[in-house]
């Protein structure tokens, strides 16, 4: 059995994701229970720029190639893509492909939003984190 199937290891990966900053271990555990572990082969397309995003991917192992109009980067264990589409269901901003065989945690927006509806404290903490990150990105300007 993969060591990543255990909840504490999923939690370790989830707590590195900026939108989950400030969540308690219990709240991270709630999200960990939503995260499905999947394996994909090299060459598998995970996301297509301009397509609607319906899930977030967290890399357990392997590497992904992320291509935007401006550049291509390689992501590895502990990195993630799709966190904004998880929140807003918006269009993907990059093409993402498995550069090697990969093991991923996948959180669907449907499951995520069901959890947020059932756990308002969790929703509030995530909104606070997003607000703080937006304020930081805008240089601390707030009206």
Contact 59, 74 (CB under 8 A): no
Residue 36 lies in a domain: yes
Q: How far apart are CA 47 and CA 34, in angstroms?
A: 20
- Please state the domain count of the chain: 1
Residue 114 lies in a domain: yes
Residue 55 lies in a domain: yes
The residue segments making up the domain with residue 63 are 3-136
Residue 142 lies in a domain: no
Average pLDDT over residues 29-38: 92
Q: Rounded to two decimals, what is the model's pTM?
A: 0.81
Return the bridge partners of 75, or none.
Answer: 64
CATH number at 85 reads 2.60.120.10
Contact 34, 20 (CB under 8 A): no
* pLDDT of the residue at 121: 87
Contact 85, 113 (CB under 8 A): no
Residue 32 lies in a domain: yes
pLDDT in tens, 93-115: 999 999 999 999 999 999 989 98
Residue 63 lies in a domain: yes
Residue 31 lies in a domain: yes
Residue 45 lies in a domain: yes
Q: Strands of 1-141 (E only): list them.
A: 36-40, 45-47, 55-61, 64-67, 72-75, 80-81, 95-98, 102-108
């Amino acid at each position: 059995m993969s060591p990543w199937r255990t909840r504490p290891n999923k939690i370790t990966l989830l707590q590195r994701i900026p939108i989950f900053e400030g969540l308690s271990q219990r709240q991270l555990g709630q999200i960990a229970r939503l995260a499905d572990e999947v394996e994909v082969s090299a060459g598998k397309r995970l996301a297509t720029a301009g397509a609607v995003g319906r899930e977030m991917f967290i890399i357990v192992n392997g590497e992904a190639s992320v291509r935007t109009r401006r550049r291509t980067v390689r992501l590895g264990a502990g990195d993630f893509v799709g966190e904004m589409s998880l929140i807003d269901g918006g269009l993907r901003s990059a093409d993402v492909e498995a550069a090697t065989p990969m093991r991923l945690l996948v959180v669907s927006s449907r499951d995520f939003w069901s959890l947020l509806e059932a756990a308002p404290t969790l929703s509030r903490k995530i909104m606070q984190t997003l607000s703080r990150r937006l304020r930081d990105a805008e240089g601390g300007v707030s009206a």
